[in-house]
Amino acid sequence: MANITMKELLEAGVHFGHQTKRWNPKMKEYIFGERNGIYIIDLQKTLKMFKEASKFIQELAAEGKIVLFVGTKRQAQDAIAEEAQRCGGFYVNQRWLGGLLTNWVTVQKSVKRLKELDEMATDGRYELLPKKEVIKLERERKHLQANLAGIKDMNRLPDTVFVIDSNKEQIA
């Protein structure tokens, strides 16, 4: 993993917090100060916590545990998919499906259907079907692919879920 420095965090603007009127007392220990009505986050503590989280994820990966990365924000979608694939993890970057973790059996049926449609597209069974049926199946495949591509090969529930924005991903 790349070694993140204080300078990189500063350049990325990680130190900018919320407006002071959106105060949350639980964040007091992580706030360095206040400037122009915006809280400044303590980057030393941020870097320390970032390294702890990174170490935790690396240990899980070394033990062969399943990590599911979740980030459906438009800005994070590509990075989530790329990094999850790079480290051999799984991801959800389009839309969080309700029941993904609590109703795994049903989600597995959808994944099985996606694999079946992928197989039909590659082995030539589409050519035996009427054009209208092929269009319908292809639309279904595209829809399933968008929502399930990142978990298609995940055969059991993840050991850890790594969520990028817990406010946006509340349902996760």
Q: What is the pLDDT tens value at each position of the chain, 172 positions in all?
A: 567 788 887 777 778 887 888 888 888 888 888 889 888 888 888 889 889 988 988 888 889 899 999 988 888 888 889 988 888 889 999 888 889 999 999 999 999 999 999 999 899 888 888 999 999 999 999 999 999 999 999 999 999 998 887 666 666 6
Out of 36, 64, 92, a domain closes at 64
Residue 124 shares a structural domain with residue 154: yes
Out of 21, 48, 64, a domain closes at 64
Phi, psi of 164 (to 5 degrees): -75, -50
Residue 151 shares a structural domain with residue 161: yes
- Report the pLDDT value the prediction gives residue 168, as an integer from 0 to 100: 65
Q: Residues with Cβ < 8 Å from 69, sequence gap 6 or more?
A: 80, 83, 84, 89, 90, 91, 92, 93, 150, 162, 164
Residue 73 shares a structural domain with residue 31: no
Residue 107 shares a structural domain with residue 172: yes
Structure-token match 């029941």, residue found:
99
- Report the pLDDT value the prediction gives residue 102, as an integer from 0 to 100: 93
Out of 64, 83, 116, a domain closes at 64
| Domain membership of residue 39 as a residue range | 1-64
Number of domains in the chain: 2
